[in-house]
């Protein structure tokens, strides 16, 4: 993304709710054609691995309620490729991101260099877009269920490996308008067990995966530099695991 952008932080109550309140609006013909062109280019770069599934996009964000709609992933990809399209597409896709705190520290993973979003960056796993697997009755969206799905798929850890989920807030990407929702969880698993699960049943999303002792977090973030994604320090502090100094 060109230029320097602000990354707004949205405050949250721990009992905040997420809800689909309207259908996806159609695009004008010319805009839809441009979205399809950009989607095709991205598919070419990614070897045809992208899936145009429904993703939750927020329209209104308050501390206790986020209202939105299901949108196509191809619209999000097009908006990332040409950020001026936000003024007409208006997608603000929601993604969950975990802060897994265990006896040996906090889990980090490095994203693939060819990823569409935050390629090659260190992030707090698991993470992923909120899709229709999180849909519940009467338009409700279960963001914690989405996090647990990502936990199983990306790290190979079962849902009961973590406890005490807590919403930390949303950091909005200053260019793509992706909304990263931090959710802190605790685990009793030691680092060795986390690494073993990742090696055995993870989907290869992170290479490498590391567990950083709490006292070493500032040094780890500094060493990563620009390859540490922007929201990670925000979520670490809100989770209460960033050292006091």
Q: How does pLDDT run across 1-32, given as a tens digit for each residue?
A: 333 457 889 988 889 999 999 999 999 999 99
> What Cα–Cα distance (Å) separates residue 185 from each residue in 22, 91, 162, 194, 216?
31, 28, 6, 14, 19
- Grouping H, G, I as helix, E, B as strand and the rest as coil, residue 78 is helix
Return the pLDDT at 83.
Answer: 86
**220 CB neighbour count, 10 Å cutoff:** 17
Rounded Cα–Cα distance for residues 116 and 56 (Å): 17
Determine phi and psi for 23, rounding to 5 degrees: -80, 165
Can you give the pTM of this predicted structure? 0.93
Whole-number Å distance between alpha carbons of 158 and 92: 29
How far apart are the C-alpha atoms of 53 and 33, rounded to whole Å? 18
CATH numbers and ranges of domains, the chain = 9-238 (3.90.79.10)
Q: Residues 45, 49, 50, 53: what is their CA dihedral angle, to the nearest 10 degrees? A: 170
pLDDT, averaged in runs of 10, over the chain (245 residues): 64 92 97 97 91 96 96 95 92 97 98 78 96 97 98 98 96 89 98 98 94 96 94 94 79
**∠ CA(90), CA(94), CA(95), 5° rounding?**
140
Apex 112 CA angle, 170 and 145, nearest 5: 40
pLDDT of residue 114: 74
Over residues 146-159, the pLDDT tens digits come to 999 999 999 999 99
pLDDT score of 33 = 98
């Amino acid at each position: 993304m060109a230029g320097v952008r602000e990354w707004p932080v949205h405050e949250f109550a721990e009992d905040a709710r997420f809800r689909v309140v309207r259908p996806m609006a159609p695009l004008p013909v010319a805009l839809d054609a441009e979205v399809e062109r950009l989607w095709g280019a991205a598919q070419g770069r990614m070897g045809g691995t992208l899936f145009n599934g429904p993703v939750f996009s927020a329209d209104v964000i308050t501390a206790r309620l986020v209202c939105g709609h299901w949108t196509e992933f191809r619209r999000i990809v097009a908006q990332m490729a040409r950020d001026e399209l936000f003024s007409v597409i208006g997608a603000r896709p929601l993604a969950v991101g975990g802060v897994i705190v265990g006896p040996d520290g906090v889990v980090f993973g490095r994203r693939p260099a060819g990823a569409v979003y935050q390629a090659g960056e260190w992030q707090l796993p698991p993470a992923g877009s909120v899709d229709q697997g999180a849909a519940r009755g009467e338009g409700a969206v279960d963001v914690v269920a989405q996090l647990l799905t990502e936990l199983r798929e990306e790290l190979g850890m079962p849902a009961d490996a973590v406890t005490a989920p807590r919403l930390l807030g949303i950091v909005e990407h200053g260019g793509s308008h992706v909304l990263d929702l931090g959710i802190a969880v605790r685990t009793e698993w030691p680092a060795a067990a986390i690494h073993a699960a990742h090696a055995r049943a993870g989907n290869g999303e992170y290479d490498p995966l590391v567990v950083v002792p709490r006292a070493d977090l500032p040094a780890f973030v500094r060493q990563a530099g620009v390859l540490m994604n922007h929201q990670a320090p925000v979520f670490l502090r809100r989770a209460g695991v960033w050292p006091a100094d």
